[in-house]
Amino acid sequence: MDRILIGELGQHVGETVLISGWVDVRRDQGKMVFFDFRDRSGVVQGVVLPGSEALETAKEARQEFVVSVTGIVNKRPEKNAQAEKQNGDIELEVTGVEILAKAQELPFEKDTEINIDTRFDYRPFTLRSERDRDIFTVQATILDAYRASLKRQGMTEFVAPALVGGDAEGGAAVFKVGYYYDQTAYLATSPQLYKQIMVGVFERVFTIAKIFRAEKSATTRHLAELTQMDFEMGFIKDEFDVIAALETAIRDTVTEVAKQHADIFKRFKIDVPHLGTKFPILTLSEAHATLGVPAEDDMTPEHERAICEWALKEHDSDFVFITRFPTAARAFYTKTAEGKLSRGFDLLFRGLEINSGAQRIHDYDEMVQRIEERDMDASKFAFYLQAFKYGMPPHGGCSTGLERFTMKMLDLPNVKEASAFPRDMNRIDILLSKPID
């Protein structure tokens, strides 16, 4: 008999079928055994009736055992049906159980709340919890929908390198790699320079790139290894063209996640992100004025949260753009708008910056001048500067943190929860030996 997915059982009422999956739950009632079986498409309740030939094996099959099950798909009596639940109106009357793989005794109940370090210590097991399956189901949809939106906007995907020859941008702490012949390479802290080079080739490009940050930071917002969804576009008028393209990508993504995963938002007991009619755009000084606080050169985490509350209240939007940060506070390639203010912007989502972008300098001489003004060595940028030497259009772009976007989409308390295999100061899969100093 061919295997049928659990999600398709509703179409086979009255038939004898074969399913395969894990024992999600087992309730042994002596003469009868109840199961929840789980496969990639969902969950269904199974029952082994008294006297069934399957009873002996059923009693052996504990949680997380991998099984193939034959049974008859029965309609549940009206009074027992659970309309809210997948397969809530059917039940599998189990006639045979084959054990494909055993499971040892579980370290703890799969769906109990446990502290985050234990969760990561047992990651191969805890990822099977409904909560984690939900998180990474949403993350897969974010990746897919974001890419699809950028593609529709005429952008070409490219592969940015993770190994780089120098810590070009400076600033962010960087991991060193032992390269051939005792030379040192570095792990990329951003695909930025390559993205700009590719604007010279394809005009509009995107990349989903790994980046690495060695900051000694152990907050709920930091990871040592991250995934960035970057795009960059040529022939813009100014940074507001980038902001418009980004708003489209975010709207498309949220809309798709909401469409596919209403059940997950319900389980997480949070609203689908509010999109308003248009994301509000405030300059940094307007943001501070709105909050009634003194002007500063950046937003504090507290002010980021407060301005998002304002945006939700006044514009029904969980997203808000902040523009006109001081040029001095932004990366060297950021274009100046007027005076000391830049064409850089941030996108805040539910109180957290999830994207940073800007119009960039495109003129070769201006770029060299800026590099020198910052006391950086222009000769170290010779490769990158070729793109500007040989004709670069006005352009800009931005970078969305996949883990932060996922975190805020489901309102998770810690960004590490949005990384299947988080790396931080103290952990690569397992806790590293040395304690925090």
Residues of span 174-203 touching a second copy by CB under 8 A? 175-183, 185, 187, 194, 197-198, 200-203
Residue type, 137: T
Report the distance separating Cα 195 and Cα 207, nearest Å: 8
Phi-psi region of 85 (alpha: psi -120 to 50; beta: other; left: phi over 0): beta
Task: Give the pair of three-digit tokens for residue 130.
Answer: 């409904």
| 354 is a site residue for a second copy (CB under 8 A) | no
- Which among 299, 367, 304, 305 has a CA at the least distance from the CA of 329? 299
CB 427 within 8 A of CB 421: no
For a second copy (CB under 8 A), the number of binding residues is 100
CA distance 67 to 173: 48
Binding residue (CB under 8 A) for a second copy from 162, 258, 368, 378: 162
Dihedrals φ, ψ of 365, to 5°?
-60, -40
* Residues numbered 87-146 forming contacts with a second copy, rule: CB under 8 A: 100-104, 106, 122-125, 127-128, 132-133, 136-137, 139-140, 143-144
Residue with tokens 């064409």: 343
Measured from the CB of residue 377, what is the shortest distance to a second copy in angstroms? 14
Identify the sign of the CA torsion 201, 403, 135, 261: negative
Write out the two tokens for 26.
């087992």
Determine, following the binding rule CB under 8 A, whether residue 13 of this chain makes contact with a second copy.
no
Quick one: which of 49, 172, 262, 420 contacts a second copy (CB under 8 A)? 420
Query: Which CB atom, from 191 or from 280, has the smaller least distance to a second copy?
Result: 191
Residue among 271 and 421 whose Cβ is closer to a second copy: 421
- Distance CA(242)–CA(262), nearest Å, equals 29
Instruction: Write the binding mask 59 to 88 for a second copy: x where contact by CB under 8 A, - elsewhere.
Output: -----xxx----------------------
Contacting a second copy within 256-295 (CB under 8 A): none
Please report how close the Cβ of residue 415 comes to a second copy at its closest, in angstroms: 13
Residue 199 CB, nearest distance to a second copy (Å)? 10
Residue 1 contacts a second copy per CB under 8 A: no
Query: What one-letter code names the amino acid at 166?
Result: G
Contact pick of 250, 254, 402, 409 for a second copy (by CB under 8 A):
402
Closer CB to a second copy, residue 163 or residue 328? 163
Q: CA–CA separation, 234 vs 394, rounded Å? A: 6
Residue 49 · residue 99 · CB < 8 Å: no
Residue of 8, 296, 363, 373 that binds a second copy (CB under 8 A): 363
Comparison of 34 and 364: residue with beta carbon closer to a second copy:
364
336, β-bridge pairs: 342
Which candidate, 242, 255, 252, 315, places its Cα nearest to that of 282?
A: 315
Contacts (CB under 8 A) with a second copy, residues 210-249: 210, 212, 214, 216, 224-225, 227, 234-235
Q: Contact between 58 and a second copy (CB under 8 A)?
A: no
